[in-house]
Copies of this chain bind each other. A is one copy, B any other.
Amino acid sequence: MVRQVRAVRTRQALIQAAAEAFAHDGYARASLPAISRRAGVSAGALHFHFPSKDALAGEIESAAARTVDEMAERFRSTGGSALGMLVAAIRQLVVAFAADPVVRAGFALSGDPTRDGGAVVVDSWHGWVREMAGQAQDAGELTDGVSPECVAMAVVAATVGFEVLGSRDPDWLSNERMLEFWTSLLPRLAAAPGRTVEAAASRPPVAAG
């Protein structure tokens, strides 16, 4: 039992250390010895849990996708305006870029040309955003002439861009910037700019559950 707990902790430490290394140094430059040192575990322990750097990156991509899916699910279950939920989820994701190395690394690996993986996190995020934008349209929340596909494109491109820009300059991910961004821009897409969207934009992000 004690051994199992220790194994889970070692695995978690390796995932965190690898996420930081992948996001900071890029997939190609991140080295397994540096990751095991950073996690405070032996090279043997790393290889016991993850046979390769590819396996480690794959685990981070899956974990990031799970976190994003769970976050999206939490927002869905709060009900309310679909456009409001969308804004709140985007803000939460940008907070996660600054606070959760695994989510950050999941997005970073999706766009890292030195990593030939899929883009599972981005695809999953795109799917959810598209769905919410569709619900917003069905509920008459989108202003005329704005399609759900375009809202989804804009949101996904901007979130991917924020992750990239934030890795050079953390100011891109600051709460003040995000607040200014959304209170200024998103109400323009709403059919009746008003309470729902602005309230979602100015509400502090939900604590991770």
Chain A residues near B (Cβ < 8 Å): 22-29, 108, 110-115, 119, 122, 143, 145-147, 149-151, 153-154, 156-162, 164-165, 167-168, 172, 177, 180-181, 184-185, 187-189
Given contacts A146-B184, A157-B158, A157-B159, 19 further A-B contacts (CB under 8 A): A26-B27, A26-B115, A27-B114, A108-B113, A110-B164, A111-B111, A111-B164, A111-B165, A112-B113, A114-B114, A122-B165, A145-B187, A151-B185, A153-B172, A153-B177, A154-B185, A157-B161, A160-B161, A161-B164
- Do residues A114 and B29 form an inter-chain contact, with CB atoms below 8 A? yes
If over half of A's interface residues share one DSSP class (helix, strand or loop), that class is named, otherwise mixed; here it is: helix
Question: Are the C-beta atoms of B167 and A154 separated by less than 8 Å?
Answer: no
Q: A167 contacts B111, CB within 8 Å?
A: yes
Q: Which A-B residue pairs are the 7 nearest by beta carbons?
A: A157-B161, A26-B114, A26-B113, A161-B161, A28-B28, A160-B161, A111-B164
Max chain B CB contacts within 10 Å: which of A23, A160, A164?
A164
